């Protein structure tokens, strides 16, 4: 009797993961096409819906939106942000040396730029169109004042744009040129799904590039020490396609890796941890599946100061009703990573409402979760050290930017919020909605 080899099992797992990713993208595309047919992206064109006056969260409402301890300070629709498609996706932020706060707002047809003033009001400054064609998927990260923008658009490559150009914008918003206004256009890959940054090391990692390339959709490394001339020192392809990742200079309990560059990869069906210090020879430390896995999407360390635990979100478990997510409630998986070689799934947290999770980031013991139809959910995760099962996790605030399903207690579909940026020193939060626009929020808890 012949037994399957590890290579055979790995190839089978990779093929299954590709099928699931193709299904996921098809589900989203079908849903968004339905939304377009229903005119969902045209309902927020009216200028009076943008730049709204501040709406404090009072008695569970901030304007038309359900909330708890989160105030809406300002809003701009995608139409007001210059988008002809009026459809949003990812978001990231940048703070200038003099303390001004800016957002890069992803859209199907490009990237819009906003500034948040001292009072939390949003001002639209301009936009950078897509490099090639439109795509619902666009992602960006900022390193030393330059925003690096990738997309699933064919042959898009990586746009490198100097955010400092925004400092001198006066008067009418400016449409930047995809030629002369770029610091660089890197074409070493075509499409990508997400962009990951390790600012301390001047590194950018494009993930979800072509599976048929030598990189297999893994971590495509880019040294951006010279933003005008990004260079690729290597690739991580051992575990195939990477959907998203967080890369850090490690300083945690597994002391053999202190000072090393470690990437926590969300690899469709596993948490995969890689040492990328030696770019020419990256080393996979571990590959960890978990019960209930449907499509491993994204995650974040609960704390970058001790690096003992991380949170992982799965984008299909609620829809497919796998494992503990069979009740459709947004499920966050908790991992003890005290040993990078042997991560342990110690528990999970479930939201009070039904929704699919998408992106989450942590700051000062709080997880800021962008959960599609249920919008922004803020969860206190500080109890993880004492009780890693997640039983002590507690939702402490929320802002639901998709009120259409509130009466039903939530619906598992791909509307509402795409992502959140919670890292401004002012405490202001940017939330990018797929069908509405960008919200400037403030947590008051």
Average pLDDT, the chain: 94
> Which tens digit of pLDDT belongs to each residue from 66-110?
999 999 999 999 999 999 999 999 999 999 999 999 999 999 999
> Which tens digit of pLDDT belongs to each residue from 104-161?
999 999 999 999 999 999 999 999 999 999 999 999 999 999 999 999 999 999 999 9
Q: HEC string of the chain?
A: CCCCCHHHHHHHHHHHHHHHHHHHHHHHHHHHHHHHHCCHHHCCCCHHHCCCCCECCECCEECCEEEECEEEEEEEECCCCCCCCCCEEEEEEEECCCCCEEEEEEECCEEEEEEECCCCCEEEEEEEECCCCCCCCEEEEEECCEEEEEECCCCCCEEEEEHHHHHHCCCCCEECCCCCCCCEEECCCCCCCEEEEEHHHCEEEEECCCCCCCCCCCEEEEECCCCCCCECCCEECCCCCCCEEEEEECCCCCHHHCCCEEEEEECECCEEEEECCCCCCCEEEEEECCCCCCCEEEEEECCCCCCCEEEEEECCHHHHCCHHHHHCEEEEEEEECCCCCCCEEEEEEEEEEECCCCEEEEECCEEEEECECCCEEEEECHHHCCCCCCCCCEEEEEECCCHHHHHHCCCCCCCCEEEEECCCCCCEEEEEECCCEEEEEEECC
Task: Give residue 7's pLDDT.
Answer: 43
Task: Give residue 12's pLDDT.
Answer: 53
Tell me which residue of 270, 266, 268, 324 sits closest to 292, measured CA to CA.
Answer: 324
In the predicted model, is pLDDT for residue 270 greater than 90?
yes
> Which tens digit of pLDDT belongs to each residue from 183-234?
999 999 999 999 999 999 999 999 999 999 999 999 999 999 999 999 999 9
User: Distance between CA atoms of 273 and 262, rounded to whole angstroms?
Assistant: 7
Q: How many CB atoms lie within 10 A of CB 228?
A: 11
Task: Give residue 272's pLDDT.
Answer: 98
Phi and psi angles of residue 311, each rounded to the nearest 5 degrees, phi first:
-110, 140
Task: Give residue 2's pLDDT.
Answer: 45
Answer with the residue of higher pLDDT: 300 or 19: 300
Task: Give residue 14's pLDDT.
Answer: 64
User: Distance between CA atoms of 217 and 161, rounded to whole angstroms?
Assistant: 24
Phi and psi angles of residue 128, each rounded to the nearest 5 degrees, phi first:
-115, 115
**Residue 20 pLDDT grade (very low, low, confident, very high; cuts 50, 70, 90):** confident
| Alpha-carbon distance values, 155 to 128, 132, 216, 282 (Å) | 16, 7, 16, 27
**Residue 17 pLDDT grade (very low, low, confident, very high; cuts 50, 70, 90):** confident
């Amino acid at each position: 009797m012949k037994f399957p080899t590890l290579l055979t099992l790995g190839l089978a797992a990779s093929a299954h993961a590709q099928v699931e990713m193709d299904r996921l993208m098809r589900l989203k595309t079908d849903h968004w096409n339905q939304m377009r047919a229903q005119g969902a992206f045209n309902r927020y064109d009216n200028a009076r819906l943008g730049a709204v006056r501040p709406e404090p969260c009072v008695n569970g409402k901030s304007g038309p939106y359900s909330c708890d301890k989160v105030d809406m300070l300002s809003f701009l629709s995608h139409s007001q942000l210059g988008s002809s498609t009026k459809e949003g996706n990812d978001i990231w932020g940048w703070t200038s040396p003099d303390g001004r706060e800016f957002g890069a707002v992803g859209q199907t047809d490009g990237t819009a730029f906003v500034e948040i003033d001292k009072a939390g009001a949003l001002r639209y400054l301009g936009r950078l169109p897509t490099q090639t064609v439109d795509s619902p998927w666009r992602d960006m990260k900022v390193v030393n004042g330059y925003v690096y923008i990738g997309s699933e658009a064919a042959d898009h490559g990586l746009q490198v744009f100097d955010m400092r150009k925004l400092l001198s914008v006066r008067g009418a918003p400016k449409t930047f040129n995809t030629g002369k206004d770029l610091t660089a256009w890197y074409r070493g890959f075509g499409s990508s799904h997400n962009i990951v940054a390790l600012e301390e090391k001047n590194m950018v990692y494009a993930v979800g590039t072509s599976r048929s390339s030598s990189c297999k959709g893994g971590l495509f490394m880019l040294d951006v020490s010279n933003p005008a001339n990004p260079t690729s020192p290597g690739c991580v392809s051992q575990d195939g396609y990477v959907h998203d990742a967080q890369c850090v200079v490690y300083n945690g309990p597994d002391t053999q890796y202190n000072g090393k560059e470690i990437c926590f990869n969300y690899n469709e069906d596993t948490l995969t941890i890689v040492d990328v210090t030696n770019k020419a020879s990256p080393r996979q430390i571990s590959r960890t599946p978990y019960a209930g896995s449907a499509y491993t999407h994204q995650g974040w360390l609960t704390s970058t100061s001790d690096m003992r635990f991380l949170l992982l979100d799965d984008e299909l478990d609620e829809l497919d009703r796998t494992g503990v997510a069979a009740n459709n409630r947004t499920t966050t998986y908790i991992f003890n990573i005290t040993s990078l070689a042997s991560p342990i799934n110690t528990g999970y947290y479930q939201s009070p409402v039904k929704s699919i999770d998408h992106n989450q980031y942590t700051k000062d013991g709080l997880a800021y979760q962008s959960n599609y139809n249920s919008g922004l959910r803020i969860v206190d995760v500080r109890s993880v050290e004492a009780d890693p099962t997640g039983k002590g996790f507690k939702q402490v605030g929320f802002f639901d930017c998709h009120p259409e399903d509130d009466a039903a207690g939530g619906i598992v579909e791909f509307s509402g919020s795409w992502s959140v940026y919670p890292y401004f020193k002012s405490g202001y939060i940017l939330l990018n909605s797929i069908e509405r626009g960008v919200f400037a929020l403030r947590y008051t808890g």
